[in-house]
């Protein structure tokens, strides 16, 4: 005698059901792409050092300025001897 398969019970509540026929693919991604937004995920220990994304941007800009100055100094010092 074969056992009858149990009926699969839908565990989702009605308020969680989603009508995929009305979904728009990559709706928010297109907007972010237009604005030129890049998402960078910081490690938790690094994120604790900054209060918000502007603070991260400010720190990175300062670092870029320092590296640009360092590169200029090195390039002047490395002249080839005649």
- Per residue in 49-60, pLDDT (tens digit) is 999 989 999 999
pLDDT of 12-24, one tens digit each?
777 787 888 888 8
DSSP class of residue 15 equals G
Q: What is the pLDDT of residue 18?
A: 80
Q: Cα separation of 55 and 60, whole Å? A: 9
Query: Are residues 56 and 42 in contact, defined by beta-carbon separation less than 8 angstroms?
Result: yes
Q: What is the pLDDT of residue 2?
A: 77
Query: How buried is 36 (Cβ within 10 angstroms: 0-12 exposed, 13-18 middle, 19+ buried)?
Result: exposed
**Selection from 35, 81, 33, 40 nearest residue 59 by Cα:** 40
pLDDT of 27-69, one tens digit each?
787 777 777 767 788 999 999 999 998 999 999 999 999 988 7
Q: What is the pLDDT of residue 6?
A: 73
């Amino acid at each position: 005698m074969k056992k009858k398969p149990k009926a699969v019970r839908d565990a989702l509540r009605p308020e969680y059901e989603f009508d995929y026929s009305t979904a728009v693919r990559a709706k928010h991604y297109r907007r972010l792409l237009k604005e030129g937004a890049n998402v960078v995920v910081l490690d938790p220990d690094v994120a604790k050092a900054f209060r918000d994304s502007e603070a991260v941007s400010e720190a990175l800009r300062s670092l870029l300025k320092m590296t640009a100055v360092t590169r200029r100094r090195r390039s002047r010092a490395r002249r080839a001897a005649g």
